[in-house]
C-alpha cells in the first residue's frame, strides 16, 4: 500500500505502485525516494509513518516523522522549525549509540517537516507487558541494567529525553536489545515569550512529555537530568504491575504515587525505587550513575540485620543503646567496614536487650563513656557472637538455613525473597523457583538441576560448584555472582545478565547464552564446546 501524507486527504490509502493519490492527487513518493506504507501513530503536532527507501538496494524500511503545526502563523511556523531542527540535531548527537535510532535524513516540504530515522523492528515494553504480564524484580533489574548506561550516554551529550515510558522502549527483534525512541520532547524548547497564550499551549502539549511519567518540575517546563530518572522509575512500576500511572492512586497532599502495596519486591529495591520516584527533585537520584551505584553497591540493610543476629522480637520499649553507645563500639579494634560495624552494633543491641535483671539495670544507669559501660557493651556483643557461633558454627551467619522442603513450602505460599539465606548443599532439582530473589545468598554445591529459575535474582550470590545442569535461567540476574566450577551444561542462560560474574572453571558446554550480557574475557575462563550457543546466537568453540 502507498499512503498519502496530505493531512487533508480523505482517503490516504492507495495501491502499492501508485504514483499519485487517487483521492487528492498528491505525489506519493516523498522526495522521489520514500514510499510511505502505513501510519504508525498520530499526535497534536504530527504523525509517524512506516516507509521504504526506494533509492537504496532492497528498499529498506525506515520511519518518517512528519511535524504538522496546528497553525500557520509566522511565530508558530518558526517555533515548529526550531523544534524540528532541535530534534534533528539531537538525533544527530545521540544516534551513534547502538540503542538509539540513527537519523537518516531530514528536510522541509510544503510547510511540513520530515525526519527520516532507522526503523526498529520489535515490540514495545508496553506491548510486551500486555502480552506476557508484569516483570519480576530480577526482570526489572535487568531492564535497568540495560537502560541506565544508555541514559548515561544520552545525558553525557547534554540531552534530556523527557518522554521515557514503556511505549518508547522497543525490544529489537534482531538482538533483543532495548532501543529508546521518540526524541521529540527534548529539553531545549523555544523561548515561550515568542508566542501568545493559545499558541504556547499548543506547543506545550507537544514538548512537555507524557502526564503521569513526567515529574512536577518537567510539567512546570523546568526539566533536569533527574526528570528522566523519575520517568524511568514510573516505567519500572508499570513493568512490575502492568498498571499505568493514571490507574494508580496518589497522595493528594504530596503528589506521590501510592505504589508499595502493589508490588512484591525486596526492601532494598523498594528503597531504590522510592528514591527514583521522589517528587522533590532535590531528594531524587540526580543521574543514572547514582542509580547504578545504588543497585550494585548498596547493601541489603534489613537482610543484613537478619543475617548477622538472631531474629529480634518487636517491642515498644526504647532501645538500650544510644548513639554514644554505638560510637563506643566503633573503636580502632572494631570491624573496619561499614557492613561489619553495622553488624556489630546490631549484635550489641540484641545482646543488651537480652540482659536481664540487675545487669540490664546496671547497663542503663552507668554513664556513657565510662570504662565499666564500655566493658559491659563489649561483653554483650561477645555474648551474641558466641550464641550465633554455637547455633551455626560461623561468626557471621546468614538467615536460618531452611530445608529444601521448607523453602519449597515457603515459595508455594508466595514467598520470593531468600536474600542472604544459606542454601548450600540443598537438593532442589527440578524445583520451580522462577522470579525468586537469592541476592547475596550462599548456594555452594546446591543441586538445581533442571530447576525453573526464570527471571530469578542471583546478584552477588555464591554459586561455586553448584549443579545447574539444564536449569532454566533465561533473563536471570547474575551480576557479580560467583559461579566458579559450577555445572551449567545445557542450561538456558538466554538474555541472562552475567556482567562481572565469576565463571572460572564453570562448565558451559551445551549452554544457551543467546543475547546474554557477558564479556569475551568471562567466557574465556569457562569451559565451552561445539554445542555452546554464544551471545551472538552462533554455536561453536569460543
Chain segment 150-187, per-residue pLDDT in tens: 999 999 988 899 999 999 999 999 888 899 988 765 44
- The b/e string for 280-316 (b: 16+ C-beta within 10 A; e otherwise) is ebeebbebbebbbebbeeeebebbbbbbbbbeeeeee
| 432 and 542 housed in the same domain | yes
pLDDT at 207 over 90: no
| 266 and 224 housed in the same domain | yes
What CATH number does residue 504 fall under?
A: 2.160.20.80
**Is position 324 within any domain?**
no
**Is position 221 within any domain?**
yes
Say if CB 472 and CB 452 are below 8 A apart. Answer: yes
| 149 and 80 housed in the same domain | no
d(CA 447, CA 192): 64
| 417 counts as catalytic | no
d(CA 230, CA 285): 9
What are residue 282's phi and psi, to 5 degrees? -65, -35
d(CA 317, CA 263): 31
Q: What is the DSSP string of 183-200?
A: -TT-S-PPPGGGS-HHHH
**Is position 373 within any domain?**
no
| 225 and 293 housed in the same domain | yes
What CATH number does residue 59 fall under?
A: 3.30.200.20
d(CA 449, CA 429): 5
Nearest-5° Cα angle at 209, 286 to 144: 45
| 132 and 48 housed in the same domain | no
Chain segment 290-310, per-residue pLDDT in tens: 999 898 743 333 333 333 333
| 96 and 131 housed in the same domain | no
* Domain containing residue 468: 417-542
Cα–Cα distance list, 50 to 26, 97, 119, 273, 539 (Å): 18, 22, 8, 36, 34
Q: According to the annotation, is 187 in a ligand binding site?
A: no
pLDDT at 526 over 60: yes
**Is position 336 within any domain?**
no
Q: How many domains does the chain have?
A: 3
Count CA atoms closer than 13 A to 118's CA, side-chain side: 19
Residue 439's pLDDT is: 87
Cα–Cα distance list, 3 to 27, 113, 114, 207, 361 (Å): 10, 17, 15, 27, 86
| 135 and 101 housed in the same domain | no
Residue 31 DSSP code: T
**Is position 404 within any domain?**
no
| 84 and 233 housed in the same domain | no
**Is position 216 within any domain?**
yes
Q: Which residues contact 435 (CB under 8 A, 6 or more apart)?
A: 136, 137, 138, 139, 416, 454, 455, 456
Q: Tell me which of 397 and 240 has the higher pLDDT.
A: 240
| 169 and 284 housed in the same domain | yes
Q: Which three cell numbers stand for residue 456?
A: 530469578
pLDDT at 448 over 90: yes
* Stated pTM of the model: 0.62
Q: Which residues contact 58 (CB under 8 A, 6 or more apart)?
A: none
Domain edge (last residue) among 94, 118, 142: 118
**How many residues would you count in the chain?**
542
**Rg of the chain, C-alpha, whole Å:** 29
**Is position 261 within any domain?**
yes
Residue 315's pLDDT is: 34
Residue 109 DSSP code: E
Strand runs labelled E in 142-232: 169-172, 178-180
What is the average pLDDT across 341-346?
A: 45
Burial environment of residue 118 by CB neighbours within 10 A (0 to 12, 13 to 18, 19 or more): middle
d(CA 130, CA 229): 23
What CATH number does residue 165 fall under?
A: 1.10.510.10
**Is position 249 within any domain?**
yes
d(CA 347, CA 384): 6
| 536 and 491 housed in the same domain | yes
| 175 and 286 housed in the same domain | yes
Domain edge (last residue) among 78, 94, 118: 118
Q: Which three cell numbers stand for residue 493?
A: 542462560
pLDDT at 2 over 50: yes
Domain edge (last residue) among 75, 102, 118: 118
Annotated catalytic residue within 53, 163, 417, 487 = 163
Task: List the single range of 206-215, 460-469, 510-519 with lowest mean pLDDT.
Answer: 206-215
| 43 and 59 housed in the same domain | yes
Pick the closest to residue 177 from 169, 187, 185, 188 (CA basis).
169
Amino acid at each position: 500500500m502507498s499512503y498519502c501524507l496530505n493531512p487533508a486527504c480523505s482517503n490516504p490509502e492507495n495501491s502499492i505502485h501508485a504514483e499519485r493519490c487517487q483521492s487528492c492527487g498528491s505525489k506519493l513518493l516523498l522526495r522521489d525516494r520514500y514510499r510511505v506504507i502505513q501510519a504508525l501513530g498520530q499526535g497534536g503536532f504530527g504523525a509517524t509513518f512506516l516507509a521504504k527507501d526506494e533509492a537504496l538496494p532492497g528498499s529498506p524500511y525506515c520511519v518518517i516523522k512528519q511535524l504538522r503545526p496546528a497553525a500557520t502563523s509566522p511565530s508558530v511556523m518558526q517555533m515548529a522549525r526550531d523544534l524540528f531542527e532541535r530534534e534533528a540535531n539531537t538525533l544527530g548527537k545521540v544516534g551513534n549509540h547502538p540503542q538509539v535510532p540513527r537519523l537518516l535524513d531530514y528536510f522541509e516540504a510544503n510547510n511540513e517537516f520530515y525526519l527520516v530515522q532507522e526503523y526498529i523492528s520489535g515490540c514495545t515494553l508496553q506491548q510486551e507487558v500486555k502480552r506476557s504480564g508484569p516483570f519480576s524484580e530480577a526482570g526489572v533489574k535487568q531492564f535497568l541494567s540495560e537502560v541506565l548506561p544508555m541514559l548515561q550516554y544520552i545525558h553525557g551529550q547534554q540531552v534530556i529525553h523527557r518522554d521515557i515510558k514503556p511505549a518508547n522502549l522497543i525490544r529489537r527483534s534482531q538482538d533483543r536489545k532495548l532501543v529508546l525512541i521518540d526524541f521529540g520532547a527534548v529539553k531545549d524548547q523555544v523561548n515561550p515569550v515568542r508566542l501568545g497564550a493559545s499558541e504556547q499551549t499548543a506547543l506545550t502539549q507537544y514538548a512537555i512529555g507524557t502526564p503521569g511519567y513526567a515529574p512536577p518540575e518537567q510539567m512546570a517546563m523546568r526539566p533536569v537530568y533527574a526528570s528522566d530518572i523519575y520517568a524511568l522509575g514510573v516505567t519500572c512500576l508499570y513493568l512490575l504491575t502492568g498498571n499505568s500511572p493514571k490507574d494508580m492512586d496518589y497522595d493528594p497532599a504530596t503528589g506521590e504515587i501510592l505504589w508499595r502495596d502493589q508490588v512484591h519486591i525486596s526492601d532494598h529495591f523498594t528503597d531504590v525505587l522510592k528514591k527514583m520516584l521522589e517528587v522533590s527533585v532535590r531528594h531524587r537520584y540526580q543521574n543514572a550513575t547514582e542509580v547504578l551505584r545504588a543497585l550494585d553497591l548498596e547493601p541489603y540493610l534489613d537482610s543484613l540485620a537478619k543475617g548477622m543476629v538472631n531474629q529480634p522480637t518487636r517491642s515498644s520499649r526504647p532501645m538500650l543503646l544510644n548513639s554514644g553507645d554505638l560510637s563506643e563500639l566503633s573503636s580502632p579494634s572494631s570491624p573496619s567496614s561499614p557492613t561489619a560495624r553495622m553488624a556489630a552494633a546490631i549484635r550489641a543491641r540484641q545482646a543488651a536487650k537480652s540482659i536481664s535483671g540487675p545487669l540490664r539495670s546496671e547497663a542503663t544507669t552507668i554513664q556513657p563513656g565510662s570504662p565499666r559501660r564500655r566493658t559491659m557493651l563489649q561483653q554483650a556483643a561477645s555474648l551474641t557472637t558466641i550464641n550465633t557461633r554455637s547455633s551455626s558454627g560461623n561468626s557471621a551467619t546468614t538467615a536460618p538455613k531452611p530445608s529444601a522442603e521448607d523453602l519449597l513450602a515457603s515459595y508455594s505460599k508466595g514467598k520470593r525473597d531468600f536474600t542472604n539465606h544459606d542454601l548450600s548443599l540443598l537438593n532442589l532439582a527440578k524445583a520451580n523457583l522462577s522470579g525468586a530473589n537469592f541476592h547475596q545468598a550462599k548456594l555452594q554445591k546446591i543441586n538445581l538441576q533442571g530447576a525453573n529459575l526464570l527471571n530469578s535474582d542471583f546478584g552477588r550470590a555464591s554459586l561455586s560448584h553448584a549443579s545447574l545442569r539444564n536449569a532454566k535461567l533465561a533473563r536471570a540476574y547474575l551480576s557479580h555472582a560467583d559461579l566458579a566450577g559450577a555445572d551449567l551444561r545445557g542450561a538456558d542462560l538466554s538474555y541472562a545478565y552475567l556482567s562481572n560474574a565469576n565463571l572460572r572453571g564453570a562448565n558451559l558446554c551445551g549452554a544457551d547464552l543467546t543475547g546474554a550480557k557477558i564479556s569475551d574475557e568471562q567466557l574465556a575462563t569457562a569451559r565451552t564446546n561445539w554445542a555452546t550457543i554464544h551471545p551472538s546466537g552462533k554455536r561453536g568453540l569460543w
